[in-house]
Structure 1
Amino acid sequence: MAGSIDAPRLWEGADFYTGPVGTALPTSLATAMSTVPAWKAAGLLSEDGASESRDEDSTDFYDWRGQLIRTKRSKHKRQIKVTCLEDNLVVFGLVNGSGSTFTTDSETSVNTRTVKAPKSEKLSFVLELEDGGITRRRHIPTGEVTEVGEVTLGPSDLQAFELTITIYPSVDGTLYVDIDNDPTNVAA
């Protein structure tokens, strides 16, 4: 049987970070994301993990005999969905976008949130996954929160913020870059 039982991954831990577009990524997995102050952690994530979706149009072309000779692919779209469990300042910013504010009165410790209609705001994102001693950092240089799921405010469900991040390609077409220390994926 071909293959290795060491190759499949079960990502048992994850962290999700955001920062301004152009924020430098640590060049080594040994360097914690927290060493770059511009990267802000979103806090606890749902046990459901993250999911990646792909969508694109395709048009098939046939010759006179009805045989498929070519397929044109276009309008490729890639998204990542994460569910944040904390209602912290980072998540507040992702959910409500620029223009919304969060202030605290230093004398009374009363917080005031002013939520405004969201505007388009491109950011950088990192999803860091862990499986034992294996770490994978997925760096999305440019993306945007394009959808926020329904937020339940009640006694029977945990408040959670499901975020859909649409990934925008760079000039050379790069959507994201994964760096990892997985010994089963060594390039020859």
Structure 2
Amino acid sequence: MTAPVLDFDLDAELAMVGVTGGASWAPLGSTLPSLMEPWPDAFTSFGYLNEDGLEEEPDADSQSFTAWQALSPIRVEVTREVWTMKFVSIESNFSSVSAYYRAAREDFTEQGGVVILNQKGKPKRDLRCYGFDVIDGTKHRRFEMPEAEVTDRGSVVYKSDALTAYELTVTAYPGPDGISVRRKFKEGWALPALTP
């Protein structure tokens, strides 16, 4: 008996690890890089993220349709799909504090070297433009969320054996052009030719 021949196009160079990267935000409507250029000056970095890096997560609902003459569905339609990015910022800076507390720059004041944030009333929506990078050597993957906001937060713990950390989940919404997430890949692979 002849052993089966594996005829797969395998390339270990295309296996990617999220070695490093980052997260940043800019005011809603900010200009995004056309390709993989550095983020424009309007973007503010969250700085160091914890060792868990970035976690991209889809959340979808679907409706299945089963015919009278069948036992299994003959069609499934996606009825809802939401994309989120989760990360933990371990730098206490304006980016992490303002995103965590959903506060705009005008909500802060500074007096005598002390930054003050007064929280009162019902929180306003805090739509921003978010950007995320994942880097592995020369490989680079970028996520742009032109219209997004923090929709979930973890607790901030203050104790002597842990960094003060801000756990954030950012949810992307469709912008005026219908795009909720723009993904860019510079990883050494190319698109196959279009078939007519």
- How far apart are 1:23 and its partner, in Å? 1.1
Q: Deviations over 1:99-156 (max 9, x none)?
A: 6733332xx4233332345321111110011100112221111111011111111112
- Structure 1, unmatched stretches of 5+, are none
Instruction: Note the 1:94-113 alignment, pairs <5 A.
Output: 94-98=99-103, 101-105=107-111, 108-113=112-117
Worse overlay, 120-129 or 91-100: 91-100
Matched, 1:18 2:25: yes
Cα distance in 1 between the residues matched to 2:150 and 2:114? 28
Give aligned-pair identity as a percent. 26
Cα distance in 1 between the residues matched to 2:119 and 2:140? 36
Instruction: Note the 1:157-172 alignment, pairs <5 A.
Output: 157-170=162-175
- How far apart are 1:49 and its partner, in Å? 1.0
Matched, 1:37 2:48: no
Determine which of 175, 180, 183 is the counterpart of 1:178: 183
Count of residue correspondences = 183
Q: Secondary structure at the match of 2:162?
A: coil
Q: Secondary structure at the match of 2:103?
A: coil
Cα distance in 2 between the residues matched to 1:77 and 1:179? 19
- How far apart are 1:13 and its partner, in Å? 0.9
- Structure 2, unmatched stretches of 5+, are 1-5
CA RMSD of aligned residues (A): 2.0
Cα distance in 2 between the residues matched to 1:152 and 1:185? 44
**Matched residue type, 1:124:** C
Does the 8 Å CA contact 1:89/1:102 hold for their aligned counterparts?
A: no
TM-score between the two structures when normalised by the length of structure 1: 0.87
